[in-house]
Amino acid sequence: MAKYIFIITCAFLNLKSIAQFGPQRIISTEADGSRIICAADVDGDTKIDILSANKFGGNLTWYKNLDGLGNFGPQHIIALLDDTIHVSAADLDGDGDVDVLAVSYFNDLVVWYENINGLGEFSSQKIISNSVNGAYRVIAADIDGDGDMDVVSGSDNTGIAWYENTDGNGNFGPSRVINFAAASSRSIAAADIDNDGDLDVVGATSGSVTVAWYENLDGLGSFGPQQTITTNGLSVEPIFTIDIDGDGDIDVIAATGGADKVAWYENLDGLGNFGSENIIIDNLLGAHSIYSTDLDNDGDNDILATGGGAFDGEVVWFENLDGQGSFGAKKIISTEVQFSRSVIAADIDNDGDKDVIASSQNDDKIAWYENYTILSVEENQINSLTVYPNPTKGLIYINPKTKTIINIGVFDLLGKKVLQLEGNIQRIDISTLQSGMYFLKIVTEVGDFVHKIIKE
């Protein structure tokens, strides 16, 4: 008999997964014109925090994940910049904590802020460049292979460039242009496109050539000419690099807002020769942002995206059905957004799956959506503690295999204990609890197990 089982460690055979997402959980409604967000452990407590680049107000901010369950603290302002477009996080000075990179569009700035004590207290502005005309994107990557993080920028008017971290301590050299002519370079990525062991650069631009890559010729940051991935003639802003078809090389995903389209391009030979457009959707209004990761725990990479107008929108995902890049229909996570500019995924609640986080500019909001991934397997395929059925209308059965259960706690989404049972319990009745999701903490003689249970 097929049963629904949540496990911590196991061997999977013929695993099927279903990803579904919970309701909106607010991180902040004070992110004034939130544009780009990123996830990182800002304060070194092993919990995933959220950073935000905002158009107005407190331009560069972060929010502390207080308990590792997704309850966030108030806004912490890192810096005030004029029209902050982008934020990213990396250890730029080699001291083991997360520093912050940002750009200011109108001031032509690429800057970074040192995490002074590893607890999320940041230094004053440190300028990497003040001459990036129309600075729009900034990422960290080890371009020259020396073990420290360099910086790559994209801009509207000065193309794509990189800056060497000259000493590993966050002192950066002058701009080294990758392609000056790449107008409106509003999205960039660093990845090993040709499988030669160094990081190449992918950029999205406006004009006839809209997505291209640049080979790191020597592994030291000398880049070759533009190599075209697509020439659809429309401006492409968000791109993402990841292995979509499971063949071990890096493919490229691109969103074309003007065509309401998200598509991916196959790296045919692992050397950077790309195939034709594979359309995932061509009616996602605006197609503002994209992100890719394994959302349903089936071993392949799915796709997140956002779209919509100034005062509406949606956060959606597309399942990679076969692990080879055949995608299912749009699945809506949320429509409670107004001009959503960014979507990412990270394990916010420490339960082993990827939750979704989205920002929306016109309602000043950052919110997250819990991944209620259900792993469906045959019980005899699991050599571990099992819990079933799930979802349940009331009764839950536990098969501890060779383990002895000491006690079981049932917790709601806010972490409140709603039921406690002592002894070697193997049957629980939760019929009196309200419908929703709960966590079982099962304490055994060999360790603790945490399982998600959905009460119908």
Q: Is 18 helix (H, G, I), strand (E, B) or coil?
A: strand
Q: Which residue has the tokens 């950052």?
A: 366
Closest-CA residue to 351 (of 69, 72, 22, 25): 69
Q: What is the pLDDT of residues 146-196, one digit of tens each?
A: 999 999 999 999 999 999 999 999 999 999 999 998 888 999 999 999 999
Burial of 46 (0-12, 13-18, 19+ CB in 10 A): exposed
Helix (H) or strand (E) holding 436: strand 436-444
Can you state the percent helix, strand and coil of the chain, rounding each to 5?
0, 50, 50
CA distance 116 to 53: 20
C-alpha closest to that of 51 among 80, 60, 59: 60
pLDDT for position 415:
66
Distance of alpha carbon 434 from its chain centroid, rounded? 32
**What's the pLDDT band for 447 if we cut at 50, 70, 90?**
confident
**pLDDT reported for residue 336:** 96
Look up residue 170 and give its two tokens. 């966050």
Would the pTM count as exceeding 0.85?
Answer: no
Residues 314-336 pLDDT 10s: 999 999 999 999 999 999 999 99
Report the share of the chain in percent with pLDDT over 70.
92
pLDDT given for residue 384 in this prediction: 63
Q: Quick one: average pLDDT of 289-315?
A: 94
Pick 56 or 17 by higher pLDDT. 56
Helix, coil or strand: residue 442: strand
Q: Lowest mean pLDDT of 38-52, 323-337, 372-386, 442-456, name the range.
A: 372-386
pLDDT(381) > 50: no
232 has a pLDDT exceeding 90 = no
Rounded Cα gap, residues 268 and 274, in angstroms: 5
Tell me what the pLDDT averaged over the chain comes to. Answer: 90
Neighbours of 148 (CB within 10 A): 20
**What type of residue sits at position 120?**
G
**Out of 216-225, 245-254, 383-392, least confident range:** 383-392
pLDDT at 14: 34
Give one DSSP letter per residue of 69-128, joined into a string. SS-EEEEEEEE--TTEEEEEEE-SSSSSS-EEEEEETTTTEEEEE-BSSSSS-B-S-EEE
Determine how many CB atoms are found less than 10 A away from the CB of residue 207. 13
pLDDT of residue 233: 67
Does 374 score more than 70 pLDDT?
no
Instruction: Return the pLDDT at 402.
Output: 75
Predicted confidence at residue 444, as pLDDT, reads 86
Q: CA 155, 218, 209 angle in degrees (round to 5)?
A: 35
Q: For tokens 């997402």, what's the residue?
A: 21
pLDDT > 60? residue 376: no
- pLDDT tens digits, residue range 23-81? 999 999 999 999 999 999 999 999 999 999 999 988 999 999 999 999 999 999 999 99
Judge whether 85 and 36 are in contact, CB under 8 Å: yes
Of 120-129, 225-234, 351-360, 442-451, which has the strongest mean pLDDT? 120-129
- Judged against a pLDDT cut of 50, whether residue 378 lies above it is answered with no
Taking only the tens place, the pLDDT of each residue in 242-294 is 999 999 999 999 999 889 999 999 999 999 999 999 999 999 999 999 999 99
Of residues 298 and 316, more confidently modeled? 316
Give the least confident one: 23-27, 344-348, 359-363, 418-422.
Answer: 418-422
Whether the Cβ atoms of residue 41 and residue 373 lie closer than 8 Å to each other: no
Say if CB 48 and CB 351 are below 8 A apart: no
What is the structure's pLDDT at 350? 85
Confidence band, pLDDT 50/70/90 cuts, at residue 379:
very low
Check whether 12 has a pLDDT greater than 60. no
Beta bridge partners of 392: 455
